[in-house]
Structure 1
Amino acid sequence: MHPADRPPQCRQRREGDRDLEAAYRAHRSSLFHFLRRKAGAEEAPDLVQEVFARAAGSEQRHHLTNPGGFLRRIAQNLLIDRARRQKSSRATFYPLRDEGEGAAPAAQEWDLEAADLLRLYEAAVDALPPKTRRVFLMHRVDELSYREIHEALGISIATVEYHMMRALAHISRVVDDGR
């Protein structure tokens, strides 16, 4: 079958995949260094792979105006999710030492930074308008697709996309301003 004979959604899907491949080539290295600083050298390769897996599953990959920012936001959300899982799975206590140790261990610094990021994220989500917050949480927490949200709330898919973009822009602003 000739590419021009494919239905528009197939062409759009292939274009989104090409855009994601280009974003992978362009941003893989910087994303790896960012995640290595935040999570450590051992976990960074797996986290980069998870970022691109999430990006590949996102409907937004078809409409990327800033692929680097999109991937960085996914990476930050991944770190937030990781911090939540760690926070809920165990309480971490760091003993105080009188040995004159000036610098905190890197893991402790990452935990503190992840906790700050989580605090900013939660405050941003709480400050969203009720309908936007509901759509955002249905997609990100309940893992519903845009179509499922559209059916559950009786709003158009375009309206779901509007609320998601509004939520992501607001969260991005709050988190970036708070850092």
Structure 2
Amino acid sequence: MEHVVAITGASGAVYGVRLVEILIERGHEVSLIISEPGKLVLAHELDYHFDDEQVVSVFAEKLGIPEAENLLRYYSNDDFMAPVCSGSHRTAGMVIIPCSMATLGAVANGLSSNLIERTADVMLKESRRLILVPRETPFSRIHLKNLLAAEEAGAKIVPPMPAFYHKPATVSDMVDFVVGKVLDQLEVEHELFKRWE
């Protein structure tokens, strides 16, 4: 089944990239959307540089996953003809990771000014999974109200808050914990962290 992954302009692009990597490794189709600020963050934090025609090949090369060429599709954030923005196109759900506060505000208030926002709106209206990974600190009252509004509309909020009971030794361990929690919400099996026993 197809998963939609959106990367927006909040710090923490590594979460989105790691999620794409794990989904593809497990044979899932991924439709990827990246906002313009998201592209800047990817370039700054992970040295991912590309234009729209190069996204799939750059991800395949950087992740070392040749099969990404077959399982990963990219849609420009201004492409309102993309299949994922139609309720008749079936997907397993959508993850906005990381989710900027601007994107959160739009989703929480039903705005659809770009493909990410429209696809999120489709997930809510079709009662499909919409998982938001908000990357901001501290939260303002407006942020908290928007988080509550999004959750009340049907979104699942998964803040990137790593646990420490599994004794993470690296930043990658902490990233994997957060991505693992997202995968749990998608009901995708993984072994990214040791579960509490």
Tell me, yes or no, whether TM beats 0.5.
no
Q: Which has the higher strand share?
A: 2
Higher helix share: 1
TM-score (norm. length: structure 1): 0.31
Instruction: With the length of structure 2 as denominator, give the TM-score of the two structures.
Output: 0.29
